[in-house]
Amino acid sequence: MTDIRKNSVTLLQIDEADAGQRIDNYLVRLLKGVPKSHIYRILRSGEVRVNKGRIDASYRIQAADELRIPPIRLAERADKQVTPGTFPIVYEDNALLVIDKPSGVAVHGGSGIAFGVIEQLRQAHPEWRYLELAHRLDRDTSGLLILAKKRSALLKLHDMLRDNVPDKRYLALAVGQWPEHVTQVKLPLFKYHTEDGERRVQVADQGKYSHTNFAIKQRFAEFTLLEAQLRTGRTHQIRVHMQAKGCAIAGDDKYGHIADNKALAKHGLHRLFLHAYSLSLPHPLSGETLQLQAPLPNELNSFLQSLERYE
């Protein structure tokens, strides 16, 4: 990551990997911790210059452009608040990074969260000049998370995700007996905020089309282990689709039942039982087929074993 100095002007040259981006988007990524309002102010005032000339926020940077950035005092202070983090790496090359994200860690900062996976990785690996999330996982969901180390890879990944090319599968433990005949759920999902400002999702006609395939992996007396395959990628999709069929995910503090979750906690389950365990997709640059897996975390595996012993 380029060192943006606090008390002096920074000059840097744009390379091929960054060419084609809007200057405002490039600066938002480069100047981590600096409010967007400040970035747009220095663009409007002409303090940011390209090839010694003024540009507006819509300018697309080109390879070999010389970029002048004024002294930035906020980025350094924000960086010090981020704790460097490392996560289990499932796949890595010079364009792509896939990690096994633990439960309880947000993928990025915001909404009261100081920082997440992306900020921790950037802080731990300053040698990675480019690192962006290709998609999201809920804070409480564990498993496979894709990040791009090149802008060209990110753009291709976004195209693939939009066209539903990656085969993303999750393991989820349903509270209750999942109906044998329900192999897919197609229900529109609508996002809203509670009075406390928390984001929630509900089934509603005005919502977005959402499709999840389900397959029963194992039945227990009071639970069903399911494989959920995403056909669309809406917020909280699996969680709300399962709730709508009367079988909320075990440990779900947003869409499950408080009494169920308290009972589960007494028996050792203290988190959402949802894990992104399988991912298959062509490599965004080489086209090579990638088939990646992340085993169930120990705490989820132990809980399943306790159910098997009990029965």
**What span, in angstroms and rounded, lies between the C-alpha atoms of 164 and 43?**
37
**What span, in angstroms and rounded, lies between the C-alpha atoms of 213 and 81?**
41
Residue with tokens 């897996």: 293
Residue with tokens 């809203």: 192
* Residue 100 C-alpha from the chain's centroid: 12
Catalytic residue among 100, 138, 140, 252: 138
Is residue 26 within 8 A of residue 34, CB to CB? The reply is: no
Quick check: is 253 catalytic?
no
Beta strands in 29-163 (DSSP E): 49-50, 53-54, 66-69, 89-92, 96-101, 132-133, 142-148
Dihedral, CA of residue 162, residue 160, residue 31 and residue 197, to nearest 10: 30
End-to-end C-alpha distance for the chain, whole angstroms: 54
DSSP H helices in the chain:
23-30, 36-44, 74-79, 117-124, 151-162, 237-244, 258-266, 298-310
Question: Which residues are known catalytic residues?
Answer: 138
